[in-house]
Chains A and B, each alone.
Chain A
Amino acid sequence: MIDNNPLLPKKLPKSNLQDSNIGRLSADENRPDNNTADAVVLTLAAHLAEAQEIERRHLARALHDEVGQNVTAIAFTLDFIQSQLDEPDLPIDLVRTHLKETLDLAEQTTDRIRQIVADLRPPMLDDYGLIEALDWYADHLAQITGLEITVQQTYFAPRLPTAVESMLFRIAQEALTNIVNHAQAQSASITVEAKASTIRLTIADNGLGFEVDQPAASPARFGLLTMVERAKAINGRCTIESQRNQGTRIIVEVPR
Chain B
Amino acid sequence: MLNQPSKYQVFIVEDHLAMRKAYAALIEREPNLEICGLAATAAEALQKIPECKPDIALIDVSLDGVSGIELIEQLQSLYPELLTLIISGHEESFYAQKALQAGARGYVMKQRVQLISQAIQDVLNGKIYLSTQMKKSIFG
Where the two chains meet, the residues of A that have a C-beta atom closer than 8 Å to any C-beta of B are: 103, 106-107, 110-111, 114, 118, 122-124, 127-128, 132, 136, 139-140
| Contact across chains for A114 and B114 when beta carbons are under 8 A apart | no
Where the two chains meet, the residues of B that have a C-beta atom closer than 8 Å to any C-beta of A are: 62, 67, 89-91, 93-95, 98, 110-114
Closest B residue to A137 using CB positions: B94
Please pick, from A103, A106, A124, the residue contacting B91 in the complex, using a CB distance under 8 A: A124
Please pick, from B67, B113, B114, the residue contacting A127 in the complex, using a CB distance under 8 A: B67
| Interfacial chain A residues near B90, Cβ < 8 Å | 114, 123-124
Shortest distance in angstroms between A193's beta carbon and chain B's nearest beta carbon? 23
| Interfacial chain B residues near A103, Cβ < 8 Å | 113-114
- In the complex with contacts A123-B62, A127-B67, A114-B91 CB distance below 8 A: yes
| Interfacial chain B residues near A136, Cβ < 8 Å | 91, 93-94
| Contact across chains for A114 and B89 when beta carbons are under 8 A apart | yes
| Contact across chains for B113 and A118 when beta carbons are under 8 A apart | no
11 interchain pairs (CB within 8 A)? A103-B114, A106-B111, A107-B111, A107-B112, A110-B89, A118-B91, A123-B62, A123-B91, A124-B95, A136-B93, A139-B93
| Contact across chains for A140 and B93 when beta carbons are under 8 A apart | yes
Closest A residue to B115 using CB positions: A107
| Contact across chains for B111 and A110 when beta carbons are under 8 A apart | yes
CA of A103 to CA of B110, assembled, Å: 12
Shortest distance in angstroms between A76's beta carbon and chain B's nearest beta carbon? 19
| Interfacial chain A residues near B112, Cβ < 8 Å | 107
